[in-house]
Amino acid sequence: MSRGLRLLLPALALVASAWAAPVPQATYDDAFGSEGTADGQFRQPFGVTVSEGRVYVSDFANNRVQRFTTSGEFRAIVGASASLRGPTGVAVNPANGDLYVADAGNHRIVQFNKDGGFIRAWGSLGFGDGQFNVPAGVAFSAKNEQVYVSEQNGNRVQRFSTSGTFRGKWGSAGSGDGQFNAPDGIAVDPATGQIFVAEFGNNRIQRFTATGGFVRKWGTLGSANGQLRQPIGLTVDGESRVYVADTGNDRIQIFDAQGKFLAKFGQSGSGSGKLDQPEGVALSSDNVAFVAEYGNNRVSRWTITNRNRPPTVVITGPARRSTSAPRAWLRGTASDPDGSGDLKLLTFTEGTRTFSVPAKSAWSQQVWLRRGTNVFEVVATDQSGAQSAKATVTIVRRTN
């Protein structure tokens, strides 16, 4: 690096060349449901799951599960003959459409076929293998065809065969790694088969292997990005992004599988685009998020799109590409195609010289020229780390 370049830019940062995963962005669509006991109405909806165009919602205080189309049209009551008592989590086996319901008040799991017909139930109040103390969350893993159940008062996770045979367990009361304080929601990463658990009492998310080996944790009590207040429901999309119903903060937060905050949507209230105690969240195959709002007695729908398409950068100057001067001004433009205004850095490279400056939509940068041919590459980077294609310009510094 030349002495002149060091004087011009004294503290320069290198930028990683890896592309970042797309960041999801939610747009409010509409909501269905109101308070009541009629078909399509709710009293404290809790869990929600979506499969093959069917949306199942656990209607906690009405002691039932309701089935809707993805557009919110009521189709059927599930569980009327099974005497459900405060149903919470719901999950579907996509292979056959079977529905699993955490029947919290009866301390059991109830299994129905896709049309709502009763198949079986298992569990009773207790702390033994296959017993439950307030089962709150239920998830199905297509990777190993097992059913996972989180126990709010039992402070553990149990796993079962599709017909309810006990397969294993992990967890105990506490705040250490692999311990729980009122675990509620549970979800399976469809890509890896790993398990994510939302802890109401510890205000965090824990991630485990399919057999309960602790992998990592994130979250602390608060309302800042990445902090949580009494999280309950969660789901994982096909890109291993974790959607968390941050119930006490009236919002949904989205993280990558390592716990890095990516995005959020919703704020307190009852109007369009507002949330009141969101307790369940699920995603359809066409990227629509369904949020069960315990406080608003409704289910809201949000379209999820990937923002953070890579930025673009163009070099427009200098007009003269041959000069005897020791310095030149590079000029150009940079843009964010999503319009989110999150440009971060411009990185300049010429040979072994690399430096970065804060990005602007219209930019200019003075550079030092070595004698002979100088080939400059410019790359724009946004806040997530997504990078543009390289723009290049060649400037010749003459010796006479």
- pLDDT of 1 strictly over 50: no
More confident residue, 94 or 384: 94
- pLDDT of 104 strictly over 50: yes
As given in the structure block, the two tokens for residue 24 are 């999801």
CA angle 77, 83, 86 (to 5 degrees): 85
- pLDDT of 77 strictly over 60: yes
- pLDDT of 29 strictly over 50: yes
The pLDDT of residue 9 is 28
Contact between 257 and 216 (Cβ < 8 Å): no
Q: Please, is 75 exposed, middle or buried when counting C-beta atoms within 10 Å of its C-beta (0-12, 13-18, 19+)?
A: middle
More confident residue, 257 or 342: 257
Q: Are strands 327-335 and 343-350 parallel, antiparallel or unpaired?
A: unpaired
Cβ neighbours of residue 319 closer than 8 Å, sequence gap 6 or more = none
The pLDDT of residue 21 is 57
The pLDDT of residue 291 is 98
Q: What share of the chain is helix, strand, coil (3-state, %, to 5)?
A: 5, 50, 45
pLDDT tens-place string over residues 132-156: 999 999 999 999 999 999 999 999 9
**Average pLDDT for the chain:** 92
Average pLDDT over residues 17-23: 52
In which band, very low, low, confident or very high, does the pLDDT at 350 lie, cut at 50, 70 and 90? very high
Among 75-84, 147-156, 378-387, name the one with the lowest average pLDDT.
Answer: 378-387
In one-letter notation, the amino acid at residue 140 is F
